[in-house]
């Protein structure tokens, strides 16, 4: 029985207020120990249950009594400096959790459901010094391509991929790189929704729609302060798309993300948001496309052919066969030829064909390389890449 389960058993047997802080600490400790990115405390058919998300996959952890869960949620709210008695509105806050002398940033969010409140704790364990472009596991050619784009005085670096593909971490690593390059007096600002972690040296603002501080509004007023580098969490609407592109054309380096499947798709997303193809072609410096695959557990992976391995399962990986995650990436730098193709306003397919050979390597190539090196399995790569998988 792990410490958490002992704690749950003890606290459930005697759901005394005094046990609650220990229980909450045990839950977060267990999440950190398992390398979880999120810990969920959510209503279940009977009482509540704890689930963790590890390497992008849910793990059921433990059932918890209703009384204990409700007290734990109140405790989490107190730690996050939120209003405990407000259970009918979503709330979001921050707390710090320390285990073995290492401090972890936790973003706690609370959401009302028909069965009760659901609490999600997102854990950020990487220290700032570890938040480096070279430490993300990206292929070297891609890292140097990104660094090249970041050395430009202006333009957009678009990071594309679905939710949970490492876009935010990568954008933060880009900011950390720029801070190092340009020094602490560089004028770096960010608008995020929400601010996931604090970066000393960067002026960070969180979007607050309740206060009418939208991406577009924050952007417009920030640009008047003439920042050198601007990190914008995500381009979601046409107004934000327009302002970002304009900023990228008028002396600002803009780092941002779009919800798009690949490089050509990222451009078409801008165009669908009302940006003229020639504007997109002039403003965008590069598109970085990301996915995350689970890494085969090196202690138990099984070789099935000379170029392929499969997951097995051992104590080290809690029988999952996987341990941690690795990025798959492709970079599409926009040069004169690419720019020319983009200006023609081609369809996605035609654009993909014309831009195909300009990419460093495709996501698929990157996956093949990882499969051949025994870093991930073919099944895992297909799970992540879907139809376009290897």
Residues that bind Zn ion (CB under 5 A): 297, 299-300, 314, 316-317
Matching residue, tokens 């969010």: 109
Nearer to Zn ion, 261 or 297 (CB): 297
User: In the beta sheet, which residues pair with residue 62?
Assistant: 50
Question: Could you tell me if residue 354 is left (phi over 0), alpha (psi between -120 and 50 degrees) or otherwise beta?
Answer: alpha
Cis peptide before 194 (omega within 30 of 0): yes
Q: How far is the CB of 301 from Zn ion (least distance, A)?
A: 7
How many other β-carbons are positioned within 10 Å of the β-carbon of residue 344?
A: 12
Closer of 230 and 297 to Zn ion (Cβ): 297
**Nearest partner of 82 among 94, 72, 70, 71, judged by Cα:** 94
Q: How far is the CB of 294 from Zn ion (least distance, A)?
A: 12
Q: Residue 324 Cβ, how far from Zn ion at the closest point, in Å?
A: 11
Question: How far apart (Å, rounded) are the C-alpha atoms in residues 249 and 256?
Answer: 15
From the CB of 212, what's the least distance to Zn ion, in Å?
A: 50
Nearest residue to the partner Zn ion, using Cβ: 297
Nearer to Zn ion, 188 or 297 (CB): 297
Report the residue number, 215 or 322, with the smaller CB distance to Zn ion.
322
Q: Parallel, antiparallel, or unpaired: how do β-strands 229-232 and 188-192 relate?
A: parallel
Closer residue to Zn ion in complex, CB, 249/314: 314
Integer Cα distance of 35 and 22 in angstroms: 20
| Shortest reach from residue 281's CB to Zn ion, in Å | 47
The minimum distance between CB 62 and Zn ion, in angstroms, equals 22
Minimal distance in Å, beta carbon 216 to Zn ion? 47
Question: Of the two residues 33 and 221, which places its CB atom closer to Zn ion in the complex?
Answer: 33
The crossing angle, in degrees rounded to 10, of helices 363-372 and 378-385 is 160
Task: Give the helix ranges, DSSP H, for the chain.
Answer: 3-13, 20-33, 66-79, 140-150, 167-182, 215-224, 238-249, 263-272, 277-283, 336-343, 348-355, 363-372, 378-385
Q: Which is nearer to Zn ion, 252 or 295 (CB)?
A: 295
162: number of Cβ within 10 Å: 13
232 contacts 255 by C-beta, under 8 angstroms:
yes
């Amino acid at each position: 029985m792990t410490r958490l389960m002992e704690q749950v058993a003890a606290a459930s047997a005697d759901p005394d207020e005094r046990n609650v802080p220990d229980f909450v600490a045990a839950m977060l400790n267990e999440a950190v120990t398992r390398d979880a990115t999120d810990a969920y405390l959510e209503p279940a058919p009977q009482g509540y249950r704890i689930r963790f998300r590890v390497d992008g996959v849910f793990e059921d952890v433990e059932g918890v009594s209703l009384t204990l869960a409700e007290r734990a949620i109140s405790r989490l709210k107190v730690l996050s400096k939120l209003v405990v008695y407000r259970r009918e509105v979503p709330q979001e806050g921050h707390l710090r959790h320390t285990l073995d002398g290492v401090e972890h940033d936790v973003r706690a969010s609370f959401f009302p459901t028909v069965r009760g409140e659901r609490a999600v704790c997102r854990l950020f364990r990487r220290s700032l010094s570890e938040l480096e472009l070279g430490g993300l596991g990206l292929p070297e050619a891609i890292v140097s391509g990104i660094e090249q784009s970041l050395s430009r005085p202006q333009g957009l670096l678009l990071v594309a991929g679905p939710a949970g593909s490492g876009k935010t971490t990568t954008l933060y690593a880009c900011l950390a790189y720029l801070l190092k390059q340009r020094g602490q007096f560089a004028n770096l600002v960010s608008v995020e929704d929400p601010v996931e972690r604090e970066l000393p040296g960067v002026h960070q603002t969180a979007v607050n729609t309740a206060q009418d501080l939208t991406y577009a509004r924050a952007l417009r007023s920030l640009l008047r302060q003439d920042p050198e580098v601007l990190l914008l969490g995500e381009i979601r609407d046409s107004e934000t798309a327009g302002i970002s592109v304009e900023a990228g054309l008028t002396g600002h380096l803009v780092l941002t993300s779009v919800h798009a499947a690949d490089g050509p798709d990222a451009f078409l997303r801008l165009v669908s948001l009302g940006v003229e193809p020639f504007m997109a072609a002039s403003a965008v410096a590069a598109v970085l496309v990301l996915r995350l695959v689970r890494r085969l557990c090196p202690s138990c992976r099984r070789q099935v052919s000379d170029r392929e391995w499969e997951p097995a399962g051992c104590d080290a990986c809690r029988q999952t066969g996987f341990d941690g995650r690795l990025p798959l990436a492709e970079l599409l730098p926009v040069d004169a030829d690419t720019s020319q193709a983009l200006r023609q306003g081609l369809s996605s397919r035609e654009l993909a064909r014309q831009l195909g050979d300009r990419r460093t390597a495709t996501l698929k190539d990157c996956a093949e390389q990882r499969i051949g090196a025994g870093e991930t399995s073919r099944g895992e790569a297909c799970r992540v890449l879907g139809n376009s998988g290897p």
